[in-house]
A and B are shown apart, each in its own frame.
Chain A
C-alpha cells in the first residue's frame, strides 16, 4: 500500500519558556507526512530544532500547538497509561547515546518492551532471538552493555526498538557516537529492515552520509522546513552528492 500516510504532522509549533519569561520559538509551524514503509530523513544544522521536532513526534514532549497523527491516532494529547501503551506498542526509538540499561544484559534490554506488556516468557525468547539474528547480535545476548562496542550497543538498542514491530521507528542521530564503519553497518541494517519488514523510519541527522540512506529528506532551518529532497531511483553515492550541494545553498 504505497502512499498511505502512517504519520501526519500539521502546523506544529513549539515555544520553550513560560509566558512572561524569556521565550524561544524552536518550531515555527511544521507540516509533512510520512507514508507507510517510507524512510525519511530530517536534516539541519545544530540548533535548528531537529531534536525538538523528533521529541514531539515520538511523544516525548508536548507541542505548543499543532497535531501529530500516527497510525490514524492523534498523539499530542495522550496521557498516562494511554501514552505508555502507545509508546510500548506503536513506536520505537534509537538515540545517539544508546539509552541501554546498563544493569541488564543485552537479552534483557531487548526483551524489556515485551516484559512490560506481560508477554509470556516462552513467546519472548523466540522473538528476541529472531530480532537479534536479523541485527547480527545473537552471540552477544548475554553481555552487559559495557561489554559491547558502540556499534553493538546501538544494534541492541535497535533490536529493542524493533521487537514490538512498531508502526514507526525514530532515530535521533543514532550514528552520532559511532565510528564510520559501525555507522555504515547500522545504516545498512536500517535500510534492510525498512525494505524487508516495511517499517517506516524517521531519521534525524546532521550528517549527509547518514542522510543519503533515506528515500526523502526534509531540511529544517530556524524551526521551519525549508526544502525537500527525493532520492527516487538515484544511486546512493549520487544522492549523497546532491545532499551536499543542497546543504551548500541551504545553509547560507
Chain B
C-alpha cells in the first residue's frame, strides 16, 4: 500500500525526476568519460611520453570524485526536498517509521543505480563522439583509445553506488528523525543574510591565504612535483569556498544600501540571491573551479596545437628533400610553387656525404640559427660551403640527406677531389614552400609518390625538413592536445550540468514568486530583466574567479611547453567566453520558459 503511495508520488513529480535524472546521468557520463582516459594506462603512456601526465590525471580523478561527492549531495538534497512532503504525509496517516525508512533507502538507491547505468552508456557514446570529432578536426593520431573501457565503467559504478548508499543512509536519518509537521513545512525556511564581520574577516583572510598558497605551489610545480598539485587542489577549492562565502553575503547586504537596489525588481533579485545563499556559495565555488579546469584544459590543448606548426617551422629552412626525384615528382614540386628550390649533387661513402663546395657557394644553404632561450626564436642564415662546414647548425643539412644518411657528416670538396670519388652521383632536391602547414596534403601526395621507388619515405623519422618534423611533433603532441580539448569539453559539460541543476531545481519554487510579481503589476520586461540579472550574477562571479585561477594555473605548464603558456591566450579565452555566453543565454531561456510560461 505504501509502495503504491510512493509510486504515485513518483508519477506526480516526473518532471522533477527528469531534472534529477538528466543531471545525474550527465554527471556519471562525464565521470566515466574522464576515467576512460585516466585509467587507461596504455593510452596515457603511448600518447604523451610525459610521466607527469599520468599523475595529473590521477589528481584530476580525485578532484572529479570530490566534485561528484558534492554534486550527489546536492542532487540528494533535491530528491529529499521533493519527497519530504510526501513522507511527512505518510507519517501523518500513520505509516511506520521503519517502513518509510525502507522506502527512502530503496528509492535513493534505485535512482542512483538507474542513473549511473544510463550515465555509463551515455558516457561511452560521448567518448566515442567527442574523440572522433577531435581526431578528425585536429588531425591527430592516437593509439589505444577505447570508448568502452571496463575498469572505468566499474570505477564509475562503484563510486556512484557507494555514494548513493551513503546518501540513502543520510536521507533515512534526516527524514525519520524529523517530526512529521516539520517535514510538511520545510520548504519555506528563509536564510536571513547575516553579517558577522569577525567571522567574515577571518574567512576572507584565510581564503586569500589559501588561494595564494595554491597559486604559489602551481608556479613551483617543478620543485614540488606531485605534492604541488595536491596542495594547489585542496587550498584553491577551500579558499574559493571561503571567499565566496564571506564576500557573497557581504556584497548583497552592502548592495542593498544603494538607491539603485530599490528600483524596479533589483531588490527582489538581491533577495532571491540571498535567500539561497548557502546553496549558491557551494555551487559557485564548484563552478568557478570547473570553469578554471575547462578553460585551462582548452587553453593548454590549444597551446600544444599552436605549437606544432611553430616547432616544425623552427626545425629547418626547407620543407622536404628528395633524392633523385623523378619527372612526376619534379612536376609535383613545381605545382607547390616553392619559394626556394635547390639541387645539390652528392656522393655517399660509408661515413660521409660528399658535396661540391662550388654548388654551395653559388646556391648557399639556409640554416635556422637559434637565438635566445626560446627554442622557437631563430634567424635564417645563408651559408657558403665554408660557413656551413663550421656552423653548428649543419645538422639541418644532415637531416635532409634522408635514406639512412642523416647521421653522416657532410663534406664539401673541390671539383677535382669530388671527381675522384668512385661512388655514383645522386641529386638532392631541397625545397621550401611559403607555408608547410598549408601544403600538407600536397606534400603528403608527393611523399607517397616518392615512396614507390624508395620505401624509406614511408617512415616519418626518415623524412627531413619541416614536413617530417611536423609529422613527428604532431604525433608526439596529439595525446596532449586531445586530452586538453577532451577534458575542456568534459569539464565544461560538468559545469553546465551543475549550474543547470542548480537553476532548474530552484525554478519550480520561483514560479509562484514570478506569478505573484505578475499579479502585482510587474511588466514582462521587468520580469525577464530580473531573471537575466539573477542568472548573470550566477554566471559572472564564478567566471571571474575561474579566469583568475586559470591565469595562475597556467604556470604549471611552463615546463611542458616550449613557448610561454600565455602566448595567444586570448583565442581560447574568447572561444570559451563565447561558449559560456551561449550557455548563459540558453539557461535564461529555459528558466524563463519554466518560470514565466
Contact = CB atoms under 8 A, between A and B. Distances in A.
| Count class of interface residues, chain A | 20 to 34
A90 to B, nearest CB: 9
Interface in B515-535: 516-526
Nearest to B185: A146
A236 interface: no
A99 B521 contact: no
A80 B524 contact: yes
A171 to B, nearest CB: 13
B513 A81 contact: no
A101 B516 contact: yes
A81 B523 contact: yes
A101 B268 contact: yes
Contacts of A116: 264-265, 520-522, 526
B520 A113 contact: yes
Nearest to A84: B523
Q: Max chain A CB contacts within 10 Å: which of B262, B263, B525?
A: B262
Contacts of A104: 267-268, 271
B523 A86 contact: no
Given A102-B190, A146-B189, A93 B267 contact: no
Q: Is the interface of A mostly helix, strand, loop or mixed?
A: helix
Given A101-B268, A144-B190, A124 B523 contact: no
A88 B521 CA distance: 4
Given A101-B271, A102-B190, A118 B264 contact: yes
B519 A112 contact: no
B455 interface: no
A103 interface: yes
Interface in B182-239: 188-190, 192
Interface in A78-129: 80-81, 84-89, 93, 99, 101-104, 108, 111-113, 115-116, 118, 120-121, 124
B275 interface: yes
A147 B189 CA distance: 9
Given A115-B262, A115-B264, A87 B271 contact: no
A130 to B, nearest CB: 17
B1 interface: no
Q: Max chain B CB contacts within 10 Å: which of A84, A87, A147?
A: A84
Interface in B343-366: none
Interface string B258-283: 01001111111001101100000000
A151 to B, nearest CB: 17
A101 B265 CA distance: 12
Given A84-B524, A113-B521, A116-B521, A99 B516 contact: yes
A81 B518 CA distance: 11
A206 B264 CA distance: 37
Contacts of B189: 146
B264 A112 contact: no
A234 interface: no
A80 B17 CA distance: 34
13 contacts: A93-B519, A101-B268, A101-B516, A102-B190, A103-B275, A108-B271, A112-B267, A112-B268, A115-B262, A116-B522, A118-B264, A145-B190, A146-B190
Given A102-B190, A112-B267, A145-B188, 8 more contacts: A101-B268, A101-B271, A102-B275, A108-B267, A118-B264, A144-B190, A146-B190, A160-B520
Interface of B: 188-190, 192, 259, 262-268, 271-272, 274-275, 513, 516-526
Interface of A: 60, 80-81, 84-89, 93, 99, 101-104, 108, 111-113, 115-116, 118, 120-121, 124, 144-147, 160
